[in-house]
Structure 1
Amino acid sequence: MSTTATRIKAIGIVVIPTNDVDRAIDFYVGTLGFEKRADIPMGDAYRWVEVAPAGSSTTIAIAPPPPDSPKAGGMQTGIIFHTGDVDGLHADLKAAGVDVDDEVSRMGDPVPPMFWLRDPEANVLMIAEVTR
């Protein structure tokens, strides 16, 4: 094992590029119930915003893509959020009009019950039930 690898202590920030920062804040804070941890203007047309579930040390940065990058949206993020009640959360998000899978997926042990959802820019996220 490399000594370099042992110096990494945590996953700090995951970035989801977004074209409409205010709409993303409304979704992640207003709909998912995350906290807004940072909202920093960076020049005339750029803003760095960090959101996270209460108590989480890892944050999600929602910010416009760099100027020469393609438009944001429709990304498979690889992000999996944990919940203790996947069925209740699925029902709540569906009732709130969030684009979620029709049903919770149940593949059996050792795979936890889970479902996919899409944010307002069609970025794909997963919710999985973790009871530990």
Structure 2
Amino acid sequence: MTETAKGARFTEVGRVAVTVADQDRALEFYVGTLGFEKRADIPFGDGHRWIEVAPAGAPTGIALVLPREGGQGPGYDTGIILTSEDIDADHAALRERGVDTDQEVQRWGAPVPPMFSFRDADGNGVMVVENG
């Protein structure tokens, strides 16, 4: 007789957290500079805020969180990969807005899609990959 392991009942990646030093500055970057929508900005506890942003219509959001005591501070590679429909236009637009991006779009050849990285207001790295 064999046993079947039961997994957790996870249904999706609902959000990822990015550690920031200043939530207002991060909110301005993600909404004002990147054009994300603000999904939540809710005060809780003793002066804390739960802030979520995301590209319009995206199922997964980004929570902009302050560092926890003893936790990782800002300025790291987040592992977040955003999808672009036009990588060259998005790269140019971010550079025009003063975003710290890679100098150029990386093109490795098929089957690897074109990609570049940028850093947010706290130096957190985010990758952008062309859909296709």
Which of 6, 11, 28 is matched with 1:3 structurally?
Answer: 6
* Correspondence for 2:70: 69
SS in 2 for 1:4: coil
Task: Provide the identity percentage.
Answer: 51
Q: How far is the alpha carbon of 1:42 from its aligned partner? A: 1.8
Amino acid at match of 2:7: T
CA displacement, residues 69-101 of structure 1 (integer Å, 9 cap, x when unaligned): 357211110000001100000000000000000
Instruction: Tell me the TM-score normalised to structure 2 length.
Output: 0.91
Contact 1:100 1:116 in 2 (8 A): yes
Contact 1:46 1:63 in 2 (8 A): no
Instruction: Tell me the TM-score normalised to structure 1 length.
Output: 0.91
* Correspondence for 2:25: 23
User: Which blocks of at least 5 consecutive residues in structure 1 are unaligned?
Assistant: none
Q: Which structure has the larger Rg? A: 2
SS in 2 for 1:23: helix
Q: How far is the alpha carbon of 1:22 from its aligned partner? A: 0.5
Question: For 2:121 and 2:73, how far apart are their aligned partners in 1?
Answer: 11
Q: How far is the alpha carbon of 1:57 from its aligned partner? A: 1.2
Amino acid at match of 1:3: K
Question: For 2:117 and 2:45, how far apart are their aligned partners in 1?
Answer: 35
User: Which blocks of at least 5 consecutive residues in structure 2 are unaligned?
Assistant: none
The question of 1:34 aligning with 2:36 is answered yes
Contact 2:78 2:124 in 1 (8 A): yes
Contact 1:19 1:71 in 2 (8 A): no
In the TM superposition, structure 1's runs of 4+ consecutive aligned residues that sit over 6 Å from their partners are: none
* Correspondence for 1:49: 51
* Correspondence for 1:95: 96
